């Protein structure tokens, strides 16, 4: 029979029984209590998230002015004269950029080696533990360690020297490098999971055409996990721009960007400055507390960036090629 | 009294049949299919390519292929049939040394390609002479063109780098796509991602890719098991049409498929080569009881 001849629905007047929705009335009491508990917790979490976003939205938008985004902070006790937070936005971008540029190639390389070679096995296990330790270390600890390293005399060219010859150890470069360490575990795990997901016959198909392992990785496997690399990168950036401790310790306490010397890029890398997180900290009641309204506005901008990055993660995951295993 | 319960004998598993040879002229156990190849390839075109001599293969302590000898000829399709775990896929993978990437793989015996021991060849060279197509279609995440170009020979030391499209490369790619019967369907847009093709087209792209390396032998590991019947028929016709230019070995679970495409059939059971001969011998006049039971559906 042709499809067109099939009746679209039962004749009118036919009794139609719809499957009832599953009710909880027949469940044992314990099951029902557990079920409602899950509901409560879930709704509670939604309320907390909603409260944060709404609170920051109301507070932030009411204080946010376009002027704040395009003016540098100015040293003033009076809120109306203390400028905007252009420099902290720049600083956030610079630190995120340095951290990403270092962490992504290193992270993808580590992920590839761990998942495709794993030889020698002992070293692979050691690297895995090292990544876990880095992932678990509080960023304050990483920052202190970073300061120890970058304050070494022979690394003076990466920050600035005091008149006494002591190395300051604080600069965009120092902060960016330690941030790379902070983001590395996130940037390793996502491509690693992606490689583990790829079916073995994909690798074998490349070997079976006489291609080496390295060529297979470069031309088949890495392109196949591009969405995972993006996801890891975005998660890493989110981690970097949200961190305060490393900025406080390794970028100094100036609110404006202060390059060292006249060389354009190098001077900036050696210089100090601030990011949105340190700006918020400084201006909130917890820090100097001079302009809390601007802290709210900056926090709103930061939250907006982080939420946008989260959206990007949702968008990048589950895209890209899929094979049957 | 409860009614008598008919039980399936589990103590016969794995199936072991008496190894007595059958008399000749046995009634054919019906494999319900039609042979695709109307005739054999002209004898002049049939030439020996690979020879497997007393080969044993193991993973760890487990010998999965035991003392197998057979010949792979160009101009003929060799089908390897047998139940799961019979060692046919392992034997197939040993022909291009793909077994070696599994840790703990061991071997004994000798496999030659055109008279040369394949273990004396550089492994990546061997794999360009003996290419393979897998059970699941696995196009690489790049364009149709790049998928085929990936397999093309290139100067040593420049392994797999993305290259400019020279007329020679374009000709080689379209040749391979023509041979795999895919060209007319994709010619309009070779820059389209290969991931967007249908399953049957993807599998023919994988065949095109394997042919682009200009191999002497093409290995097919259950190439149709993930495909619909129409795509399967297309690929089976393709296999038969390719046999004169390349020696073909196909592993299949599907007896009808083996019957339709094969000139020679190797029936394996628990790692042993039970019967090896022409399709007519194995399907129409099996010499061994186990072969007869397998192709008539008594086990498998």
- Low-confidence winner among A78-87, A240-249, B223-232, B277-286 (lowest mean pLDDT): A78-87
Residue B102 lies in a domain: yes
pLDDT at B27 over 50: no
- Low-confidence winner among A6-20, A133-147, B174-188, B246-260 (lowest mean pLDDT): A6-20
CB A201 within 8 A of CB B134: yes
**How many domains does chain B contain in total?**
1
Dmax over CA atoms of chain A, in Å, equals 97
Nearest CA in chain B to A225: B141
Q: Does A214 touch chain B (CB under 8 A)?
A: yes
Residue B228 lies in a domain: yes
Distance (Å, whole) CA B65 – CA B91: 7
DSSP one-letter string for A228-248: HHHHHHHHHHHHHHT--HHHH
Distance (Å, whole) CA A290 – CA A285: 7
- Residues of chain B found within 8 Å of residue A195, distances taken between Cβ atoms: none
Give mean pLDDT, residues A264-279: 88
On whether ipTM exceeds 0.90, the answer is no
Alpha-helical runs (H) found in B150-198: 167-179, 183-186
Residue span of the structural domain in which B94 resides = 43-140+214-295
pLDDT tens-digit readout, B70-122: 999 999 999 999 998 899 999 999 999 999 998 889 999 999 999 999 999 99
User: Which band of pLDDT confidence, cut at 50, 70 and 90, is reported for residue B154?
Assistant: low
pLDDT at A230 over 70: yes
CA A235 from chain centre, in angstroms, equals 3
Run of H or E residues at B269: strand B264-269
Residue B270 lies in a domain: yes
- Low-confidence winner among A156-170, B181-195, B222-236 (lowest mean pLDDT): A156-170
More confident residue, A285 or A48: A48
DSSP one-letter string for A156-186: GGGS-B-TTS-B---SHHHHHHHHHHHHHHH
pLDDT at B12 over 50: no
Backbone angles phi, psi at A16, to 5 degrees: -115, 120
pLDDT computed for residue A4 by the predictor: 53
pLDDT computed for residue A296 by the predictor: 87
- Residues of chain B found within 8 Å of residue A322, distances taken between Cβ atoms: 195
> At a CB cut-off of 8 Å and minimum separation 6, what does A85 contact?
A68, A69, A73, A276, A279, A294, A297, A298, A301
**CB neighbourhood size of A316 (10 A):** 20
Percent of chain B scored above 90 by pLDDT? 71
CB contact under 8 A, B98 and A207: yes
Give Rg (Cα) of chain B: 21
pLDDT computed for residue A13 by the predictor: 82
Alpha-helical runs (H) found in chain B: 88-94, 123-129, 144-149, 167-179, 183-186, 199-212, 229-242, 255-261, 279, 289-295
CB contact under 8 A, A208 and B136: no
Residue B159 lies in a domain: no
pLDDT computed for residue B16 by the predictor: 54
- Residues of chain A found within 8 Å of residue B125, distances taken between Cβ atoms: 210
pLDDT at B156 over 60: no
Nearest CA in chain A to B146: A219
pLDDT computed for residue A256 by the predictor: 85
What dotted CATH number matches A84-316? 1.10.3720.10
- Residues of chain A found within 8 Å of residue B151, distances taken between Cβ atoms: 209
- The full set of domain ranges for chain A reads 84-316
CB B202 within 8 A of CB B139: yes
Q: Which two structure tokens, joined as six digits, stand for A12?
A: 């009118």
Run of H or E residues at B267: strand B264-269
Residue B147 lies in a domain: no
User: Which band of pLDDT confidence, cut at 50, 70 and 90, is reported for residue A117?
Assistant: very high
CATH code for the domain in which residue B55 is found = 3.40.50.300
Mean pLDDT of chain A: 88
Indicate the burial class of B270 (C-beta count within 10 angstroms; 0-12, 13-18, 19 or more). Answer: middle
């Amino acid at each position: 029979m042709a499809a067109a001849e099939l009746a679209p629905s039962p004749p009118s007047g036919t009794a139609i029984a719809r499957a009832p929705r599953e009710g909880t009335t027949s469940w044992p009491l314990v099951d029902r209590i557990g079920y409602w508990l899950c509901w409560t917790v879930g709704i509670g979490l939604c309320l907390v998230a909603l409260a944060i976003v709404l609170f920051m939205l109301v507070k932030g938008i009411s204080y946010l002015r376009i002027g704040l985004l395009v003016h540098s902070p100015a040293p003033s006790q009076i809120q109306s004269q203390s400028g905007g937070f252009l420099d902290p936005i720049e600083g956030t971008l610079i630190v995120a950029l340095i951290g990403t540029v270092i962490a992504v190639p290193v992270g993808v390389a580590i992920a590839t080696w761990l998942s495709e070679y794993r030889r020698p096995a002992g070293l692979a296990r050691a690297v895995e533990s090292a990544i876990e330790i880095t992932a678990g270390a509080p960023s304050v600890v990483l920052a202190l360690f970073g300061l120890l390293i970058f304050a070494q005399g022979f690394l003076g060219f990466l920050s600035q020297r005091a008149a006494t010859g002591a190395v300051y150890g604080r600069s965009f470069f120092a902060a960016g490098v330690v941030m790379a360490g902070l983001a590395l575990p996130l940037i390793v795990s996502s491509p690693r999971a992606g490689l583990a997901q790829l079916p073995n016959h994909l690798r074998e198909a490349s070997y079976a055409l006489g291609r080496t392992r390295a060529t297979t990785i470069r031309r088949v496997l890495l392109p196949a996990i591009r969405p995972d690399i993006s996801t890891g990168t975005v998660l890493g950036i989110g981690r970097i721009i949200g961190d305060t401790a490393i900025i406080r310790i390794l970028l100094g306490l100036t609110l404006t960007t202060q390059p060292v010397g006249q060389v354009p890029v190098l001077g900036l890398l050696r210089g100090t400055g601030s990011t949105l997180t340190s700006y918020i900290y400084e201006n909130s009641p917890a820090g100097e507390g001079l302009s809390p309204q601007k802290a709210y506005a900056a926090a709103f901008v930061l939250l907006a960036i982080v939420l946008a990055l989260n959206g990007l993660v949702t968008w990048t995951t589950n895209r890209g090629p899929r094979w049957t295993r | 009294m409860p009614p008598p319960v008919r039980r399936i004998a589990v103590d016969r598993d794995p199936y072991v049949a008496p190894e007595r040879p059958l008399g000749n002229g046995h009634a054919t156990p019906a494999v319900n299919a039609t042979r695709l190849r109307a005739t054999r390839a002209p004898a002049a075109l049939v030439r020996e390519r690979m020879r497997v001599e007393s080969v044993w293969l193991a993973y760890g302590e487990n010998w999965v292929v035991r003392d197998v000898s057979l010949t792979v000829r160009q101009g003929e399709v060799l089908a390897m049939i047998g139940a799961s775990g019979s060692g046919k896929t392992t034997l197939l993978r040993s022909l291009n040394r793909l077994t070696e990437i599994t840790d703990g793989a061991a071997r004994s015996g000798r496999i030659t390609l055109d008279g040369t021991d394949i273990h004396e060849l550089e492994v990546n060279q061997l794999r360009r002479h003996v290419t393979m197509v897998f059970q699941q279609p696995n196009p690489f995440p790049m364009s149709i063109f790049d998928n085929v170009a990936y397999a093309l020979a290139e100067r040593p030391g420049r392994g797999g780098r993305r290259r400019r499209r020279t007329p020679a490369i374009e000709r080689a790619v379209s040749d391979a796509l023509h041979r795999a019967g895919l060209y007319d369907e994709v010619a309009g847009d070779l820059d389209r991602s290969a991931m967007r093709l249908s399953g049957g087209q993807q599998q023919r792209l994988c065949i095109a890719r394997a042919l682009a390396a200009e191999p002497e032998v093409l290995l097919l590991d259950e190439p149709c098991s993930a495909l619909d019947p129409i795509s399967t028929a297309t690929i089976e016709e393709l296999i038969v049409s390719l046999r004169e230019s390349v020696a073909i070995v196909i592993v299949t679970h599907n007896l009808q498929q083996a019957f339709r495409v094969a000139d020679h059939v190797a029936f394996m059971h628990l790692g042993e080569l039970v019967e090896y001969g022409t399709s007519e011998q194995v399907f129409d006049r099996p010499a061994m009881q186990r072969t007869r039971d397998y192709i008539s559906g008594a086990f498998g």
